[in-house]
Structure 1
Amino acid sequence: MSQNHTGRPSQEDIEWCYDAVHRVSRTFSLTISELDEPMARDICVGYLLCRVADTIEDAGHIPPAAQSELLRLYSQTLDPDADASVRTFDDAVNEWLPATLTDDWEVVDNAARAVGVFRSLDNHALESIRGPVRELVDGMAMFVDRYADEGGLRIKTLDELEEYCWYAAGTVGTLVTALVSHEATPEQTEQMEENARAFALLLQLVNVAKDAATDMEEENNVYLPLELLDEEGLDHSDVGNPDNVESLVPVIERVTARAEGYLDGAQTWLEAMPETRGNTLSAWAIPFLLAVGTIRELRERPADVIENGNVKITRDEVHAVCQQFIGDSSPPIGDLRTRIRKQPLHEY
């Protein structure tokens, strides 16, 4: 069961946070492995706080009204001015824990540990993390309420999709920008603030495109916009049906193109980023370049999203991308982006 903390977290709690991220997210595991302290701990804890909310939002066994109530209660535990304790959230979520805990639900069950480590961070980190995470949690609650009668999210338009993607992933761009901006030049800060949205939407739109069928099957959420489906004579209920592959491919391609449109802004965000507070270019360049590779695969085989459940790049390519940043190497991001967009990096 989860543990509540009223004082400073133990080293065991901190180590648990790192271990939990490595178990629930391959992408963020790579990112955190590339960071130094204190940035590594800040991002690790910030990510886990978001993961708690994401797991609750995706839980098909929890009625929408209970989901939104849990999300709002959880948000209040992060508000220093609210009279809400993490124990209250623990008690409320306990009845919805599965009998057998997956790695994701173990994080929910141990939310108090993540919150305890979060509360131990320095004031700059606290303020940089709190706002973006609460925006994510509150945004998820809003979307759950919006589609409560549907039993799952049913995105209607491209604009609404981007609104959702902002709440689901905007935290990444704004949180990182806030953490490093106080040691950045005014020009760097301006560039990062202007392009943080592009970095976040790039990553999330790629996820929407590659996981469209899986999201419906496992979470009963359909993020492919109805306005695009309607143009192909489809509706939300048709997503994931192999008989509709030919009609779904143009929709996958449109969402992929939308993601690709954010590559320039995301690259600008990366190139403006200072390497301070333990931050490193590689930590964020790697997921950026993996997104480029996934876009390439989505362009080449969009039907696999429906026929095979998703589209992924190979472990060999992931390894090849990571190898570019070994030691003090700082390869030109633009050159790598161009090469990866043409073919898998390990095939050169």
Structure 2
Amino acid sequence: MSRPVKRSASLALAAVLAASLSGCSLLPKEEVALAPPLVKPAKENYQTKPAEKGSITVGINATAYFESVHTFVAQFTGQGGRVQDVLVRSGDVVKKGDVLVRLVMDDLDLKVKEQELALEKAKYALKQQRVNRDEDPDAIRMAALQVEIEQLKYDRLAEQYNSKLLKAGIDGQVVFVEDVQPGDYVDTYQTLVIVADPTKLRLTLSTDSPELKNVNVGFPAEISLSTDRGLNTFKGKVVQTPSSAPQTLNKELAEKYAKTLYIDVSDLPKDVEIGAMADVKITTNKRDNVIKIPKSGLRSYLGRTFVRTLEEGNKVREADVEAGLQTPTEVEIVKGLREGEVVILQ
């Protein structure tokens, strides 16, 4: 290549580079990204409670009601039938022998009266034979047999008649009446009325508390009862527990016994009525001078039991612990925590 041609090529390359440089200078300069502002993390607020020493009491606190110790369950035992009248209502006071429910008689009451008359006529005829001056031994014997016959007829009719009447077996207060109407059919051994003796009462406490299994016959109970004289406290004693309940084939009664305590109350006022409510406290275990925390401070995860504590104001530490007695609000810590350590509540 000749020298003039080389020179022309060099000049052209220089022009291209100059144009490129001048073009780049026309683009805006890229802005430098600003660093995000530093934000001071907010201090987490914990609800805490120091572990403390004290007493912890475990037991049952529940509401119970008074029921009679002695009740009479009125049922037709011979045969059922259709109801003619229900003569009592809940709350009525009855005497032993009072009629509670009457079945349809089908003229049986009239037949009893007719037979009563026949019996009286037979007795009168016998009496006349015995006072007759011309006393005939055979006539007297036949008259006496007639009296026996009429008496047997009357007794059988009277038994049928009485089988249609449901009577109170004790003096007391009606606490239950089955919802039956005249014309309804009732079966044999169907409970229609329950009469309770209001002078002999005990407390009935039904509960699903896990502490129920730890209550034994003879355990003392504290009773709080509101009366016309204000709030009064009484002493009671457990007389029946699920484990001491009598065996029964009645499914409903067996289910009731399985979760019920019966409590006798000392010096109960006479004005306490069936159905009155009372607060009952039974202690099953108590420990003094133990470390305890609120129950919401105890944590469990994958079989591990632990607490979270707060140290030096903001340091959180986890500590495995062994729990002891527990109430609905507190728990005893047997191992793993000292008095005064600050526990984080959930």
TM-score range, shorter chain: under 0.3
State TM-score, norm by structure 1.
0.22
Query: Which of 1 and 2 has greater Rg?
Result: 2
Structure number with higher strand proportion? 2
Structure with the bigger percentage of helix: 1
